[in-house]
Amino acid sequence: MDLLLGVRLFVRGAATVFRTPRLLLLGAIPALIVSIFYVAGIVALVAWLPELTSGLTPFADGWSGTARTIARVAAGAALLGAAGAVAVVTFVAVTLAVGGPFYEKLAETVDEQVGPVPATTEPSWARSIARGARDGLVLVGLSVLAAIPLFLLGLIPVVGPVLAPVCAALVGGRLLMIELAAPALQRRGLDFGDRRRLLRTRRLLTWGVGIPTYLLAAIPFVAIIAVPAGSAAATLLARALRGEPTGQERPASRT
C-alpha cells in the first residue's frame, strides 16, 4: 500500500540523516536560525489571540457569556489551526531559501548513496537561486489560500476542530513534499508545475512521507531535525515517483 510505503520512506530518510551527523548538521543549521524567528511569531500570536478572536467575532458581542465564550474559543482554535498550517509550510520554504546550498548537498548525498541519478543539465547558481525564490513565493501563496477554507472549516461546530487539523495535515504534507522534493527533482529537470503533477500521480505515497514531516515540523524546535529528515525522505520519494531504485529493493542481508 502506497501510504505505508511512504511512511517507510520517511523512516528510512530520517534514519539516513541520523546515522550521518554531517547530513543532520547540514539541514539543522538553517532550520535552527529560522525557528528562532518563527517561535517568536507564535508567542506573539498567542499573546494577541484574545484581541484577534474578539475582532473576528463581533457578532457574538450581544450573546450570553457562555455562547460568546464558545464562539471565541472556536474562532481562536480555527485561527491557530490555519496559522499553524501556513507557518509549517512557510517555515520550510523560508528554511530552504536560507539554506538552499545545504539542502541541495543533502539531497545529492542521499541520491548518490542510493543509486545513480539520470544526467541532466545543471542550471547556473544564480538561475537556481532565482527559481527557488520564485517557487517558494508560489508555495507560500498556495499555503495562504489553503488557510482560508481551513479557518472556515474550523468554525463548524463539533466536527470543525477535528476535520480542520486533518485537512491541514493532508494539504500541508503535500505542499511540503512539493518543496522538499525540489532539489532532487530539479536535478532531473522538473520545474514547479512538473513537480506538482508528478506528486499527484501517487497521492497516498506522497502523504505517507509528507504527513509525518508536517506533524513533526509543526512542533517548535523539533522542526530543526524534521526538515533535514523530511528532505532526505523527499529525495527517496522523488526516486520512487520516477521509478528509480530507492534502496527498498536491496536484500535485507548479504553473505
pLDDT at residue 229 greater than cutoff 80: yes
Mean pLDDT rounded to a whole number for the chain: 81
Domain extents in the chain = 2-241
Residue environment code for 137-150, b if the CB has 16+ CB neighbours within 10 A, otherwise e: ebbbebbeebbeeb
**How sure is the predictor about 255, in pLDDT bands with cuts at 50, 70 and 90?**
very low
pLDDT at residue 251 greater than cutoff 50: no
| For residues 43-64, average pLDDT | 82
For residue 102, the model assigns a pLDDT of 79
Q: For the whole prediction, is pTM greater than 0.85?
A: no
For residue 195, the model assigns a pLDDT of 87
Instruction: Pick 9 or 248 by higher pLDDT.
Output: 9
pLDDT at residue 192 greater than cutoff 70: yes
pLDDT at residue 162 greater than cutoff 70: yes
The Cα 64–Cα 67 span in angstroms is 5
| For residues 121-148, average pLDDT | 66
**How sure is the predictor about 253, in pLDDT bands with cuts at 50, 70 and 90?**
very low
| For residues 142-149, average pLDDT | 80
pLDDT at residue 149 greater than cutoff 80: yes
For residue 210, the model assigns a pLDDT of 93
pLDDT at residue 122 greater than cutoff 60: no
State the SS3 of the chain: CHHHHHHHHHHHHHHHHHHCHHHHHHHHHHHHHHHHHHHHHHHHHHHCHHHHHHHHCHHHCCCCHHHHHHHHHHHHHHHHHHHHHHHHHHHHHHHHHHCHHHHHHHHHHHHHHHCCCCCCCCCCHHHHHHHHHHHHHHHHHHHHHHHHHHHHHHCCCCCHHHHHHHHHHHHHHHHHHHHHCHHHHHHCCCCHHHHHHHHHCCHHHHHHHHHHHHHHHCCCCCHHHHHHHHHHHHHHHHHHHCCCCCCCCCCCCCC
Q: Convert the pLDDT of each residue in 60-101 to its tens digit.
A: 777 877 888 888 888 888 888 788 878 888 888 888 777 777
